[in-house]
Structure 1
């Protein structure tokens, strides 16, 4: 095995650490799990919108590559796909394997450098002292947001986390900038790894907002869960993760993640359902699963509406479908709710919520029963927040809805 010796200077302790540098074409399966410095010349780059690939061979499949996820790419002052092309670089990280190709994931600009000494310029987001926006005067503000893999640094041996990586501090800071700006009373979240990571995020980044964390571990094999942050009083919480139902093919299923139901008390007095239906990956099989999830969720809400036509409820989250989907494709998870009489809080908007090309589309919704819709004063997809790059915070834009139901608060955004 070929090795080159590199010296890394640790400035704070004045300690010189010797570490092997391994040429990219010497990386093998034997290195999986090892923290290494890998060297090579970048001959090809590709930015998919979600991942930047730095390749050291034109025929890179099955060999080795370095990758930078979109949220981490935001920390580079110049787009990595442009900056590193043609340069000889060294990357530091743990070797893993994904779909037959060995890789190192670059999480920070500090983990990659050019051998010719060219500086890798970084953007550093605000990491503390977040500006808190005004509370909604005489009302309740609800936000629904898929926060794109809010994960901790621990590998869960009971989940297939795949290529999901730790959420770096810079992206947590971007998420926090947005959430502090909203200062919402209730936030429905999707793609949170576990209760611990959300409790830590709430404690470190959302100080003073007064949120309580609601999260049950769901059924997702990758470990992404639905969650809720609220400072309004909670009457009860229900998880439907163990609920069985039958799909259109006669297969008994459960929610792929969960259907989380939180009964909010006080002046608001409504149920909030948090959903994250099956993704579009998998063609017809995915459509069948997503349709079954939607129909089961709707049946639960419909039972409440049958008992009380003025039932107050919100169903919020990532539906993984657009409302205008061609009915012949059997992709109707949003339309089921609209046909049942629920109100689309952002009806008529031309904004999209999934913000990565080429799939720009509105797949995140806050739907409201008629009994609660009478109090709705605003519904909007938020694609701009002062001081925040939303595309660097998540691959989804948040949806914000406001209700005039409480006589407390300050000003509106």
Structure 2
């Protein structure tokens, strides 16, 4: 949690994004989902966002990562960092949940180089021991009062014998969390006559990826909901959001697990395949913000949005298809505004 307070320039953001997308014939064709522009934050509101920024690795070699997981193979190019920063500036969140962060140091470096005037004085990124060296993080303009991760969580049960109709290499082994969620509580100072700070607790997730790992994601969701219930028992009426990269859509068993426990998503109307709410270059909507009943009334109606950045075309093989000019990530940022007053 560090210091410096500045602001951003929306006009420059739009020029940067358009400049990135306009040139570069050697790059692949770009597909656009989401909205090309996002409305300013509602007066008096706080903007909450999530963004899988795609492999924010710095140029420092981590000796604990080698072979297929060598971090030097995943260093994020400067032009991609600049494009990601331009997207963040365009969305202009007050509280930003991030996925695929290498480390606290890598995030601080990114903030200092590209977002130093955005007022993100409060930074949380905690090592969770993931084999690929990535973790969840939060950048915030408001103080973070507590943070927690669960790096060795046992989810309960064991891996099944089959994975995609083939023998499962983990068969019979205990189910473990692959990338621990990050819990942070953010305190927002009152405006006007309110006497107590408004608090919101985030559970930032990056569920296990890949076809065939549905059982794993469902176990992660069930386990996390137990942790949320524990938190609610100690903090009745807490405003809670679960947000991040779910690697599953709203109609899947993973996300339905959250819905059955009382969570709802911030898009009140979502049509299957709607490009305005699609968040991944594969054409899926995997990046979500879910809220509990205490937080839901504070959402600003109609403020949920997906911000558009250049993406590969759906169906393109990311291993062989170069990203288009201006590419920042294979995911898009998702945001919603909330009024920081308990209803």
User: Partner of 2:62 in structure 1?
Assistant: 156
Q: 2:24 aligns with which of 60, 71, 77?
A: 77
Q: Which runs of no fewer than 5 residues in structure 2 stay unpaired?
A: 1-19, 30-38, 160-171, 189-196, 311-323
Structure 1 residues 264-317: Cα deviation after superposition (integer angstroms, max 9, x where no partner) = 123431111110000024x1xx22221111111111112334556632101110
Query: For 2:218, what is the secondary structure of its paired residue?
Result: helix
Deviates more, 1:225-234 or 1:162-171: 162-171
The superposition leaves residues 125-146 of structure 1 with CA deviations (integer Å, 9 ceiling, x where unpaired) of: xxxxxxxx96552111111010
- Secondary structure of 1:265's counterpart equals strand
Distance 2:216 2:287 in 1: 18
The structure-2 alpha-carbon separation of the partners of 1:81 and 1:323, relative to structure 1 and needing over 3 Å to count, comes to closer
CA 1:278/1:169 → structure 2, altered by over 3 Å: closer, same or farther? same
Are 2:123 and 2:139, in contact at CA under 8 Å, matched by a contact in 1? yes
Q: Alignment RMSD, CA only?
A: 2.9
TM-score under structure 1 length normalisation: 0.60
CA–CA separation in structure 1 for the residues paired with 2:61 and 2:116 = 27
The answer to whether the Cα contact below 8 Å between 1:143 and 1:184 also exists between their aligned partners in 2 is yes
Higher strand content, 1 or 2? 1
Residue 385 to residue 243, structure 1, CA distance change in 2 (3 Å): closer
Which structure has the bigger radius of gyration?
1
Q: Which residue of 2 aligns with 1:256?
A: 178
Provide the rounded CA distance (Å) in 1 between the counterparts of 2:119 and 2:179.
Answer: 26
Q: 1:168-207 counterparts in 2 under 5 A?
A: 168-207=77-116
Give the Cα–Cα distance (whole angstroms) in 1 for the partners of residues 214 and 248 of structure 2. Answer: 10
Structure 1 alignment gaps of length 5 or more: 1-72, 83-132, 326-331, 407-413
Mapping 1:291-302, distance limit 5 Å:
291-302=218-229
- Change in 2 beyond 3 A, CA 1:391/1:340: farther
Q: Which residue is 1:411 aligned to?
A: none
Distance 1:319 1:355, change over 3 A: closer
Describe the shift of the 1:390–1:320 C-alpha distance in structure 2 as closer, same or farther (beyond 3 A): farther
Point out the more displaced range, 197-206 or 162-171: 162-171
Cα gap change, 1:76/1:164 in structure 2, threshold over 3 Å: closer, same or farther? Answer: farther
Q: For residue 266 of structure 2, what is the aligned residue in structure 1? A: 345
- Normalised TM-score (structure 2): 0.71
How many residue pairs match? The answer is 272
1: distance between equivalents of 2:307 and 2:141? 24
1:221 and 2:131 matched: yes
Q: Determine if contact 1:344/1:366 at 8 Å carries over to the other structure.
A: yes
Distance 1:307 1:162 in 2: 39
Structure 1 residues 52-83: Cα deviation after superposition (integer angstroms, max 9, x where no partner): xxxxxxxxxxxxxxxxxxxxx9796214579x
Cα pair 2:22 2:325 within 8 Å, conserved: no
Match of 2:16 in 1: none
Q: Which residue of 1 aligns with 2:187?
A: 265
List per-residue Cα deviations over 1:353-407 (Å, max 9, x = no partner).
Answer: 4432xx3111111100110111011453423379xx997111011110110126x
Deviation, structure 1 residue 194: 1.2
